[in-house]
Structure formats: structure tokens, C-alpha cells
Amino acid sequence: NAGVTQTPKFRVLKTGQSMTLLCAQDMNHEYMYWYRQDPGMGLRLIHYSVGEGTTAKGEVPDGYNVSRLKKQNFLLGLESAAPSQTSVYFCASSYLGTRADTQYFGPGTRLTVL
């Protein structure tokens, strides 16, 4: 049982390049989330999904797109990377997203945009 995994672990992009971050979970969770963590800012929700085929905007969605074509995978895309998107990105999942559910986090992807 791998839990939540993220690919890649590190990436360096040039401004304007695109990339996709992959999150996978093997816990049969319905809810999945993408966060970014910046120094002094705490974790902020980018997008989330309440089930296969659904996505919704979080607190800081601009510049990102997501897709949830399969229940176990949640993809985060950057179409045209900007230096402001330099951050550590975390994926998380939870069973049903109810008040009793905790979120399980992946190890993170450290992205640098030059």
C-alpha cells in the first residue's frame, strides 16, 4: 500500500514551459487535492476533486489546470510556467471529505521556474 505518490520529485522549468504533475493514490479515496506550500504562507489549496470526472477551484487556481480522468489519479498542469509558480506542490486525498476524514499527503514536488 503506497498511499499517495507524486511524480516527479523535483523539476526545473524555464518561464513559459509547460508541465504536468501526477498524483496517484491506492486507497480508493474519493477526494483529492492539490496544494502549494510557500515560505511564510502555509499550504494553500489550488484545486480539488470530489470524485472521478469532477474538479473544482480552490483558493489559488489561476495559472493551473487539473484533471481527474481516473479515480486514483489527479493531474496538475501548468500551461505556461511563471517564476511565481516556484513552490513545493503537495497532493492529498481523503476517503469521503467529511468532517471526520483526515487528508493523506504525498511527499511533494519541488518546482523551480527560472
Partner 1 sequence: KQEVTQIPAALSVPEGENLVLNCSFTDSAIYNLQWFRQDPGKGLTSLLLIQSSQREQTSGRLNASLDKSSGRSTLYIAASQPGDSATYLCAVFTGGGNKLTFGTGTQLKVEL
Binding site for partner 1 (CB under 8 A): 4, 31, 33, 40-45, 48, 50, 56, 58-59, 90, 92, 94, 97, 99-100, 102-108
Nearer CB in complex with partner 1: 13/29: 29
Nearer CB in complex with partner 1: 24/97: 97
Nearer CB in complex with partner 1: 2/14: 2
**What is the rounded distance in angstroms from the CA atom of residue 104 to the CA atom of residue 27?**
10
- Look at the block and give the residue holding cell 504533475: 21
Nearer CB in complex with partner 1: 17/58: 58
- Rounded to the nearest whole angstrom, what is the least distance from the CB of residue 43 to partner 1 in the complex? 4
Cα torsion 91, 10, 68, 24: sign: negative
- Look at the block and give the residue holding cell 514536488: 109
Instruction: Give one DSSP letter per residue of 39-98, joined into a string.
Output: TTTEEEEEEEESSTT--EE-SS-TT-EEE-SSTTEEEEEESS--GGG-EEEEEEEESS--
- Rounded to the nearest whole angstrom, what is the least distance from the CB of residue 19 to partner 1 in the complex? 20
**What is the rounded distance in angstroms from the CA atom of residue 96 to the CA atom of residue 41?**
27
- Rounded to the nearest whole angstrom, what is the least distance from the CB of residue 5 to partner 1 in the complex? 10
- Rounded to the nearest whole angstrom, what is the least distance from the CB of residue 17 to partner 1 in the complex? 24
